[in-house]
Amino acid sequence: MRIKIFLMTLFLSFCSLVMSQFSVKQIDANELPEEVTYKGDFVSAISWKDKGGLHYVIQAETPMLMTNAAREASLPVKYVTNPNSGRIDTIRNYEIVYNNGVADTVRNIEADYRIKALNVYHYVVSKKETSLVWKDRDFVSDCAAKNLTINFFCDPVVTDIDKDKIGEIWIMFRLGCRANNNVPLAMKQWLYMGTERYSMRGLQAIKRGEKLAGGEVRQDDNYRMLPPDFKAYSKKLWMSYMFEVQE
């Protein structure tokens, strides 16, 4: 089965959209000031000026790293003394929890478990001082490497919907661990106004012929308090990346 993310040119151009009154520039890692630091591999960065100063937003991703669970499973057999009975329990490829002195297997550990994270940073340069405004992170863990998906949909989006001459920042990404392509991936939208985050999350909609799976949406409590024009823009941005078309 051939699979593609429904990111047509029209949708990719959405990231340079409309309501921003600022001159937003894409920049390379070597164009960032020395004071601007981030963890992970560089994905993208933008900069713009508003009445708050010169801003930088950086998107980065970590390598796919082995988790502690995978390291544990890769070790030789361990022998653990039951704290209640004194019995020796053998542990390999399992986590053991003792409930009332009885060893209980809580989940299987696979040696190829991985963790991968997306990191986002917002810096501002004002009066020649560079400061971190906020940083955020999301990740997938304890997932077999072949089943792990996490990626940004596009560069950060900057708007000025409320026309206060201060940029609002939008981040779009998807993530998940799925053993087959019938399982919709989670997708998330972050809106930052200052240091306040407003989140919308849900599932991508898998479209296969006339059939549709996923597409659910959930909003944080503070998101529901946003003015209608913010919600309208949020919906447009969300819909631009909601569909994963499978053929």
DSSP state at residue 194: T
The whole-angstrom separation of Cα 156 and Cα 98 is 46
What is the dihedral sign for C-alpha 23, 127, 194, 175?
Answer: positive
Residue 189 CB burial class (10 angstroms; 0-12, 13-18, ≥19): buried
Measured CA to CA, the distance from residue 80 to residue 203 in angstroms comes to 41
Instruction: Please give the pLDDT value at position 16.
Output: 45
Q: DSSP readout, 133-156?
A: EEEEEEEEEEEEGGGEEEEESSS-
Alpha-carbon torsion (191, 192, 197, 198), positive or negative: negative
Alpha-carbon 36 to chain mean position: 21
What ranges make up the beta strands (E) of 16-87?
25-26, 41-50, 53-61, 65-66, 78-81
Contact 173, 119 (CB under 8 A): no
* pLDDT for position 37: 96
What is the CB neighbour count within 10 angstroms for residue 6?
A: 15
Q: What is the pLDDT along the chain (247 residues), one digit of tens a residue?
A: 444 444 433 344 445 444 557 899 999 999 999 999 999 999 999 999 999 999 999 999 999 998 887 777 666 555 667 777 777 665 555 555 566 666 555 455 667 889 999 999 999 999 889 999 999 999 999 898 899 999 999 999 999 999 999 999 999 999 999 988 888 999 999 999 999 999 999 999 987 766 677 778 999 999 999 999 999 999 999 999 998 877 6
- Cα gap 161→196, rounded to integer Å: 16
Domain ranges of the chain: 3-68+110-246, 69-108
Q: In this structure, what token pair is assigned to residue 177?
A: 């661990």
pLDDT by residue (tens digit) across 176-220?
999 888 889 999 999 999 999 999 999 999 877 666 777 789 999
* pLDDT for the residue numbered 182: 83
The distance in angstroms from the start CA to the end CA of the chain is 6
